[in-house]
Structure 1
Amino acid sequence: MLSGGDEGSGLEGSVFEGVGWPELDPGILVLDGSEPMEVAAPRVRRFLEECLATGRAAESTSMASHPGPQRECWLVIGISGEGDLWMAIEPERLLWHADNPDRPMEHSIADHLGLDPREASVVVRGEPRPDRIAIPPGDRWSPGAFRAIHLDDAGVPVTVGQWGMRSSAPPPMEEMEEAGASRGAPPGGDLETSAPPPADDAPPPTFQATLSAQGPEALAPGETEFIEVRIERDGDGSLPLAKAVAGVEVLEAEPIQVMLSVRGRGLRVLGSRRIDLAPPAPGRASLGEFEVEAMEEGEVQVGVSFRQVGSELGAVRLSVRVTRDVAGDVSGDVSGDAGGLAGAGATPELGAQHRPPLTREMVEALPRDPGDDAILRLLIDEMEEDSRTFYRYRLVSEPLGFHYLTMDSQPLLDRDGGAAKKLDQYVARIHENLTRRLRRSDLPQFQVELEAAGISLCHELLSPDVARVLWPLRGRIQGVQITSWEPRIPWELVRLKDPDSGEVDDRYLAEYGLVRTFHGRTPPREFAMARWKFLAATYPHNTERSVLTEVGFITRELPAEGVEPERIEAGFEPLWTTITAGDFDVLHLACHGLADPGNIQTAALLIGDQPGESDEDPPKPIRIESESVRFSNALWNRRPLVFLHACEAGRHGLGLTEWGGWPTAFMEAGAGAFVGASWPVRDQPAEVFATTFYQALWSGATLSEAAQGAREAGKAQGDASWLAFKVYGHPRARRVVPPTAPPPRPPGDAPGDNSGRATEP
């Protein structure tokens, strides 16, 4: 068979892509798309067994894992038509359709797989194999369309590569014409283009899509199942896999990366934790799945994020219970409930039949923002394998050249210096060491101790490889976003050290505009900041020192801007009523707190005090527990900013089943952003930090910029308190100015005439 298309046609509208080829030619089985599935499936099964036996494929590789150009086992299927086309797919994908048929087995491979000419792979000929290939314009429908097949002089497929990263500068046209790359044309003629390529200054074409995901609700140890993902265009009439959010803005011509993150040892991921999906074509969803195996009993959190270029489009969090007591009949067909592709001949849901009840979650969606590209993202997974615990990092930044660069930390150590078998053993050691340093009463010595702690954290957390990659790029980093499950590690204190020269960075990681997020949660990019409520705790019975100084911006400057903040009485009922009502855009809490790293049930805010039950009893504090706030789910409507200054409030504890602490509590309750301190801070630096932070946000700065400005202002006080503040949210989130509001004044300007300023609705 010959590839369709004409070598010299259509190149003027091409997209130029880098392609990765395997070092050794892979095992390839060539099939005719018209061959009956009942004939092809046994051949493919034998072929895959041979690949496994020779090491060309990995055991239990999910058909959606897409290991990229290193994969050594491929099917190359000829799609018959007026012009013959090729498609490269994984053997596992065909076998799944054979094991889960939705039509008679005597039907063809092409019929079972729903192959479409527009899904054809790129074909290249001749030697040497090109590093970049020309992709003529047109829809790119499936993972097969992101692959390149190299034919020898006889027209026989010899290897398969994958393309995806757009080249920064295309080569001269004559150079690409010599490469001889072509996209096969659909039967009946050449590949059609719906429109000429956009001008350089025109925005790239986009469309609205729906993101969704689902997985098993419960699994028994040793059982394997799939976490399914789906992307489809809005208005196509098909149903998503779960309760999903529509209206996500997606680029027409860029692949979408779907990332899987699992917390703890309960589930083991079989195969890759990343899938690259083509943007869905009209009437046809892009589908993928991750295979997982249940390991240890307990509740397991799973995060699925959808990303395109530098932007996170949305995220979903699933909860899977691993238990030996999986109740009920789990063999029912739930494909109708999960939703499917509309229309005859549509591909069924991957793994949708014969499975346990599904766990579902709402997807949080964000529009594409090119400004996100400038942020360096560190996606961090907690890895617990065999007898060692470590962090796995994925670095993402288009300007810095990171396309999911994956690196591991060194094995983490416990308090005795041995290998930590669980993450909390390492965290306990870190907290003990930091607490010992933070108790220094001498300020200069305290500063020195923090610097030493930052260097030590770099060595333990980042490993020489990660530090070596980041070191020469420090001047180009415009912001840092850390996405993790673990909220207790003081990433703000990390100081990079060049592992080769020994030179130490003069900045902490906090000084790069560091903002945190949690896996499976996508905070909003906008804050209303129209309605403010605050609590400044008082303790009339002297159980604690009253907090009065750090709300100056709220009580003095906001009224000058036309906003009248509402003060919350220091009592349980007033504060709990406020939280559960959720009718505010900013909540500022200044009080004292308790947090026991070994028991999250003791994490509490001390918001006031009251007399004892009798005259002989001492006064007792008024408390509100973090777990009560966390499970209130009261803040999802307005997604407010919560600023909490409470001694110890930034510290977290590890519970038996869940992460605790106040950042987790408020973000899980629906807050759009959270700011909290990790250790007790002095009044004046806290006042400076809070005032500078609020002024910057009010004036239109992003969350990352406001955090950076507040840290700089706090640092100028000559006190290390500025390093205590952790900021959670979207790094590019900013205040939305109502249409009737005046332009924001720069931070620090004296308030002038306030007539005509907008008031709180």
Structure 2
Amino acid sequence: MEHHVGDAAVAGTTSDNRYEWAHSSEVPPDTHTAVPPAVSSGGADSGTWPSGSLGSYGPVLPDGRGVVPETEPGEPHRLTAELAEQAPPGREVPLQVQVTRGAGDAGAALREFHVPAEGARLVIAVHAPGLLALGDLQQEVTVMPGRDSDVVRFGLRTTAPGLHTVTVRAFRGGTFLSELRAQISVQADTPARDGPTRSAPLTTLAFDPGEVTLQVLKGSDGAHSFQLLSETTYAPESFRLLAGNAHGARELIYDELRRTAAAAGSGGGADQAHAHRRLRNLGVQLWASAVPDAVRRQFWEEADRITSLTVLGEHDAVPWELLYPRDRDQEGDGFLAEWLPVVRRVFGQERVRELPLHRAAFVVPPGSPPEAEREVAALRNRLGQAVADFGTLTQRSVVSDLIDQGAAGLLHFACHNTFTSSGSRVTMADGSFDPLDLAYAAQSGALRTTHPLIFFNACRSAGEIDWFATSLGWAPQFLRAGAGAFIGTLWPVRSDSALTFADTFYNQLVTRGRTLGQASLQARQAIRNQGGDPTWLAYVVYGSPAARAVLPQADVSTAD
């Protein structure tokens, strides 16, 4: 699992470093965590979208968990869209979107929520790179009880020849609900041809109070669009990275953090203080140079109401977990990821609110660090006898079969992961296992009915590479297949910190019944003061921040 990083370890290599099991102390109740202190306003010019506010946040429990106001079951809904699938350049091709009733025959329906008498107002946002927008690409639609919504029309015009993808997303407040995609082929001297109706399940119309989504999209011109979605819907802000892309800067950052992790604890107090100051300066510089001014201003306007932040879109643009919000006299409570639950979403990922952990399997191939078995033993003890044990897996074929057949519950990796410019690779007993081995599961949606939790506790297991028109890595592949949540790392991490993170995370999620967002936040906080070690910022979490583990016959306490 290449947790520990020595001076000789480099990205893309593995080592046989040993480590000792680190038992975490009991994490105190969340007396702060989710709700940041009030900060001063960023100014009167809010830059809000003309549609304005989308309702109220509703009550929040003392531990920061939002209370979803609509809890009565109701009829299912679907997000539907119609778009021509072929047209010549210069042709107007309107996109028509509607929220309809009925479960349909696609997707996995989850619990529905009552639509209040006054209706549920949703934001429909469209991303259409390569096409010319003839109007706003964001509109509101009201879903009333017992009937379909009105049809919302978005004006688009074809320009450059080629195959273009149009993505439609639905939000309520800052909570992402669902998305669907359609493709249009633009060719000269071809007649326009209508495409089939596209649909996706709206698994719930409820929203999580205080959840904010930062949607980051990359346009065909290389510029990025940043948009903060909360109760207030802000207009997108276009932002172009000076270097064209962030790959080089990102790799320099990860290399520095790898060296910092290797040296952590080896020097005296002055060295540790310098490491912490350097890390903070890195986070402040990222905040100032990689986030548009308008988005930073909007963040401060919302800061005292935010309980979780979801980043949707281009994850490789910025290492989001490293951001340290600081603007003149405005400062939060440290790094964004130690202040708030920060989670990510990939395109095509379902919104899963329950993680059924009725069984567990553990991937520990030959050559894994000896202490990996100790990690698995501790996890088995944490889960208890109520969770069926599917054993320790060492062969690629067995892991692949389990995933293709719809792995359920928990799949925990404790192993080495080699990451190079060619991507990730785990050496199993019967050969190499890499993200391409998940292609069938991703396309078939093999995990969409089981929604397992995937914890990949290995070196840079959240790394991704470009693969034609998409990104390739463990996280996007597992999530496209239907995983409920994924946890991995961005750079090589220290063994003692990594083990404490895992133990604290499972303690919070399983034993104490906290949400995915809160459990990951508590795990970060448990290891953030370990001799300048930046491991606590290396972990990335994909999923719904409000998701909770569901155990069979388990008495899970949520009390503080």
- Normalising by the smaller structure, the TM-score range is 0.7 to 0.9
SS at match of 1:258: strand
Instruction: Summarize deviations over 1:410-441 as a string: whole Å, max 9, x none.
Output: 43121xxxxx2xxxx23343333432453344
Aligned residue pairs: how many? 486
Higher Cα radius of gyration: 1
Question: What does residue 293 of structure 2 align with?
Answer: 464
State the alpha-carbon separation in 2 of the partners of residues 220 and 465 from structure 1: 37
Instruction: Summarize deviations over 1:435-458 as a string: whole Å, max 9, x none.
Output: 245334433355444322211210
Task: State the one-letter code of the partner of 1:509.
Answer: L
SS at match of 2:454: strand
CA contact (8 A) 2:161 2:188 kept: no
SS at match of 1:654: strand
Question: What does residue 251 of structure 1 align with?
Answer: 116
Question: Taking CA–CA contacts closer than 8 Å with sequence separation of 6 or more, which of the two structures ends up with the larger relative contact order?
Answer: 2
Question: What does residue 212 of structure 1 align with?
Answer: 79
SS at match of 2:413: strand
Task: State the one-letter code of the partner of 2:334.
Answer: R
State the alpha-carbon separation in 1 of the partners of residues 413 and 460 from structure 2: 14
Deviation at 1:472, TM superposition (A): 6.4
Question: What does residue 320 of structure 2 align with?
Answer: 491
State the alpha-carbon separation in 1 of the partners of residues 450 and 286 from structure 2: 37
SS at match of 2:194: coil
Question: What does residue 684 of structure 1 align with?
Answer: 496
Question: What does residue 627 of structure 1 align with?
Answer: 436
State the alpha-carbon separation in 1 of the partners of residues 379 and 120 from structure 2: 45
SS at match of 1:377: strand
Question: What does residue 613 of structure 1 align with?
Answer: none
2:550 to 721, 736, 754: 736
1:442 to 263, 276, 289: 263
Question: What does residue 360 of structure 2 align with?
Answer: 532
Instruction: Summarize deviations over 1:202-240 as a string: whole Å, max 9, x none.
Output: 9799852522323344555544423322223449xxx99
Question: What does residue 517 of structure 1 align with?
Answer: 345
1:291 to 142, 148, 155: 155
CA contact (8 A) 1:213 1:230 kept: yes
Judged with a 3 Å threshold, the aligned counterparts in structure 2 of structure 1 residues 494 and 167 are, in CA distance, closer, same or farther, namely closer
CA contact (8 A) 1:221 1:323 kept: yes
Task: State the one-letter code of the partner of 2:499.
Answer: E
State the alpha-carbon separation in 2 of the partners of residues 496 and 657 from structure 1: 32
SS at match of 2:94: strand
State the alpha-carbon separation in 2 of the partners of residues 163 and 746 from structure 1: 36
Instruction: Summarize deviations over 1:563-593 as a string: whole Å, max 9, x none.
Output: 2422243222111112112232111112222
Judged with a 3 Å threshold, the aligned counterparts in structure 2 of structure 1 residues 596 and 368 are, in CA distance, closer, same or farther, namely same
Within 5 Å, give how 1:124-143 maps onto structure 2: none
State the alpha-carbon separation in 1 of the partners of residues 333 and 149 from structure 2: 49
What TM-score, normalized by structure 2, do the two folds share?
0.76
CA contact (8 A) 1:488 1:651 kept: no
SS at match of 1:592: coil
Range moving further from structure 2, 254-263 or 692-701: 254-263
Within 5 Å, give how 1:100-249 maps onto structure 2: 207-214=74-81, 215-234=83-102, 248-249=112-113
State the alpha-carbon separation in 2 of the partners of residues 325 and 513 from structure 1: 48
SS at match of 2:326: coil
Question: What does residue 204 of structure 2 align with?
Answer: 367
CA contact (8 A) 1:640 1:673 kept: yes
State the alpha-carbon separation in 2 of the partners of residues 205 and 628 from structure 1: 41
1:701 to 514, 536, 556: 514
Name stretches of at least 5 consecutive residues in structure 1 with no aligned partner.
1-66, 70-161, 169-201, 332-354, 398-402, 415-419, 611-621, 749-761
Task: State the one-letter code of the partner of 1:324.
Answer: Q
State the alpha-carbon separation in 2 of the partners of residues 538 and 204 from structure 1: 48
Judged with a 3 Å threshold, the aligned counterparts in structure 2 of structure 1 residues 645 and 322 are, in CA distance, closer, same or farther, namely farther
Deviation at 1:280, TM superposition (A): 4.1
State the alpha-carbon separation in 2 of the partners of residues 720 and 582 from structure 1: 35
Question: What does residue 305 of structure 1 align with?
Answer: 169
State the alpha-carbon separation in 2 of the partners of residues 284 and 523 from structure 1: 22
State the alpha-carbon separation in 2 of the partners of residues 376 and 660 from structure 1: 26
State the alpha-carbon separation in 2 of the partners of residues 453 and 298 from structure 1: 40
Task: State the one-letter code of the partner of 2:359.
Answer: R
Question: What does residue 140 of structure 2 align with?
Answer: 276
Question: What does residue 652 of structure 1 align with?
Answer: 464
1:426 to 203, 225, 246: 246
Question: What does residue 603 of structure 1 align with?
Answer: 423
Say whether residues 1:587 and 2:411 are aligned partners.
Answer: yes
Instruction: Summarize deviations over 1:463-494 as a string: whole Å, max 9, x none.
Output: 23332343465454322122224356310100
Judged with a 3 Å threshold, the aligned counterparts in structure 2 of structure 1 residues 736 and 326 are, in CA distance, closer, same or farther, namely farther
Judged with a 3 Å threshold, the aligned counterparts in structure 2 of structure 1 residues 696 and 437 are, in CA distance, closer, same or farther, namely closer
Judged with a 3 Å threshold, the aligned counterparts in structure 2 of structure 1 residues 452 and 218 are, in CA distance, closer, same or farther, namely farther
Question: What does residue 283 of structure 2 align with?
Answer: 454
State the alpha-carbon separation in 2 of the partners of residues 68 and 476 from structure 1: 19
What TM-score, normalized by structure 1, do the two folds share?
0.57
Instruction: Summarize deviations over 1:720-755 as a string: whole Å, max 9, x none.
Output: 2111110011110112344xx14225899xxxxxxx
Deviation at 1:514, TM superposition (A): 0.7
Instruction: Summarize deviations over 1:295-338 as a string: whole Å, max 9, x none.
Output: 455554443222334544x31221415453898xx65xxxxxxx
CA contact (8 A) 2:166 2:181 kept: yes
SS at match of 1:286: coil
CA contact (8 A) 1:696 1:747 kept: no
% identical equivalent positions: 24
CA contact (8 A) 2:226 2:239 kept: no
Task: State the one-letter code of the partner of 1:635.
Answer: L
State the alpha-carbon separation in 2 of the partners of residues 165 and 356 from structure 1: 34
**Backbone CA RMSD of aligned residues:** 3.6
Say whether residues 1:727 and 2:541 are aligned partners.
Answer: yes
Instruction: Summarize deviations over 1:632-652 as a string: whole Å, max 9, x none.
Output: 132112011111122122111
CA contact (8 A) 1:667 1:673 kept: yes
State the alpha-carbon separation in 1 of the partners of residues 49 and 300 from structure 2: 28
SS at match of 2:544: coil
CA contact (8 A) 2:110 2:203 kept: no
Task: State the one-letter code of the partner of 2:179.
Answer: V
State the alpha-carbon separation in 2 of the partners of residues 461 and 673 from structure 1: 27
